[in-house]
């Protein structure tokens, strides 16, 4: 029997969503103290969650003992499964942890936009030089085309007349513009039932919840989260590194809120002006901002 048709197991390509433990310091003692402080009051929040160790924030000459960090994460019941690195791959592989590829490449869209902008500017400049050499012929062709088109009532007839006039003047007509294709985001997921303790919902795009998110329940989205009911469990938006994601809810009583891995738990009490109130939550300089919503 072919191994591909084995009834006992299959090997398939795929992806697994993990938390990202982003390392920002080489001071392991300080890291241990902060991690212990955060989790001693809420030890069950990330219990048995898989986590990737991200070392891309370190300076070029900085290194950390990844084996020790893995043991530290294991001590708070997280399960490290690999390391995310770019230029750090050389020393990161020495730990024995597998290298993982992250999908939240911060800054990549901006760099691509800059490259596209530069390319567009260069093309525009080249087009301007080419058009300057034929400005007289183009002007004559345009005048003839306009006169012909003004007597035409059908758009196709006018276009044909303009093309004929341009050909008579020896000017090559410009190609028709390509239609603009806009990238579409994943479809919004709508959950219209209350979520009980232990239930978890994951959305590739935005997530809209119309019922109660109970204590112990968890809603996760790569985009924004809208909850039109009390939030008493955990809400994690922008989990693939989307720092522009937001959380909206009509009654904020959470166990945990998080955007792009920046989180806040009940160990840090919410102020009275937002606790139990309609709010929106967003990131500003890697700090969670919570503001009351004025619905009237």
Q: Answer whether residue 190 shows pLDDT above 90.
A: yes
Least confident of 42-56, 194-208, 257-271: 42-56
Contact between 203 and 67 (Cβ < 8 Å): no
Cα 169 versus chain centre, distance: 52
Q: What stretch of H or E contains 209?
A: strand 207-209
CATH number for domain 15-100, candidates 2.60.40.10, 1.20.120.160, 3.30.70.260, 3.30.565.10: 3.30.70.260
pLDDT at 5: 66
**Residue matched to tokens 């968890």:** 218
* pLDDT tens readout for residues 76-125: 888 888 898 888 888 888 878 888 887 654 444 433 444 444 444 444 44
pLDDT per position as a tens digit, 224-268? 999 999 999 999 999 888 999 999 999 999 999 999 888 888 778
Q: What is the pLDDT of the chain when averaged over all its residues? A: 74
Higher pLDDT, 12 or 208: 208
Question: Which residue intervals of the chain bear CATH 2.160.20.70?
Answer: 189-292
Fold of 189-292: Pectate Lyase C-like (2.160.20)
Q: What is the CA radius of gyration of the chain?
A: 28
**Any residues with CB less than 8 A from the CB of 53 and at least 6 apart, and which?**
21, 23, 66, 69, 70, 73, 80, 82, 83, 84, 97
Q: Of 200, 281, 194, 189, which is closest to residue 234 (Cα–Cα)?
A: 200
- The ranges of the chain annotated as CATH 3.30.70.260 are 15-100
- Region of 260 (left: φ > 0; alpha: ψ -120 to 50; beta: rest) is left
d(CA 202, CA 199): 10
What is the structure's pLDDT at 232?
93
Whether the per-residue pLDDT at 160 is higher than 70: the answer is no
User: Can you give the pTM of this predicted structure?
Assistant: 0.45
Q: Do the beta carbons of residue 55 and residue 85 sit within 8 Å? A: yes
Does residue 129 register a pLDDT over 70?
no
């Amino acid at each position: 029997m072919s191994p591909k048709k084995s009834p006992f197991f299959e090997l398939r390509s795929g992806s697994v969503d993990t938390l990202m433990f982003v390392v920002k310091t080489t001071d392991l003692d300080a890291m241990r103290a902060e991690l212990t402080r955060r989790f001693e009051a809420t030890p069950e929040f990330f219990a048995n969650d898989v986590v990737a160790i991200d070392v891309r924030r370190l300076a070029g000459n900085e290194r950390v003992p990844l084996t020790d960090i893995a043991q530290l994460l294991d001590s708070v019941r997280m399960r490290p499964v690999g390391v995310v690195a770019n230029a750090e791959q050389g020393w990161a592989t020495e730990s024995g942890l597998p290298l993982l590829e992250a999908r939240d490449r911060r800054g990549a869209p901006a760099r691509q936009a800059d490259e596209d902008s530069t390319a567009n500017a260069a093309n525009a400049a080249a087009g301007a030089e080419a058009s300057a050499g034929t400005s007289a012929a183009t002007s004559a062709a345009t005048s003839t085309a306009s006169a012909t088109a003004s007597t035409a009532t059908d758009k196709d007839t006018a276009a044909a007349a303009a093309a004929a006039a341009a050909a008579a003047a020896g000017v090559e007509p410009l190609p028709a513009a390509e239609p603009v294709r806009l990238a579409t985001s994943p479809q919004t997921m709508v959950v219209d039932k209350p979520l009980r303790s232990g239930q978890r919902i994951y959305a590739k795009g935005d997530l809209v919840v119309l019922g109660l998110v109970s204590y112990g329940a968890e809603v996760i989205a790569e985009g924004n989260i809208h909850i039109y009911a009390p939030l008493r469990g955990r809400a994690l938006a922008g989990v693939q590194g989307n720092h522009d994601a937001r959380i909206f809810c009509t009654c904020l009583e959470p166990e945990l809120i998080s955007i792009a891995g920046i989180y806040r738990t009940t160990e840090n009490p919410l102020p009275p002006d937002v606790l139990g109130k309609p709010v929106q939550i967003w990131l500003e300089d890697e700090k969670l901002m919570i503001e009351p919503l004025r619905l009237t």
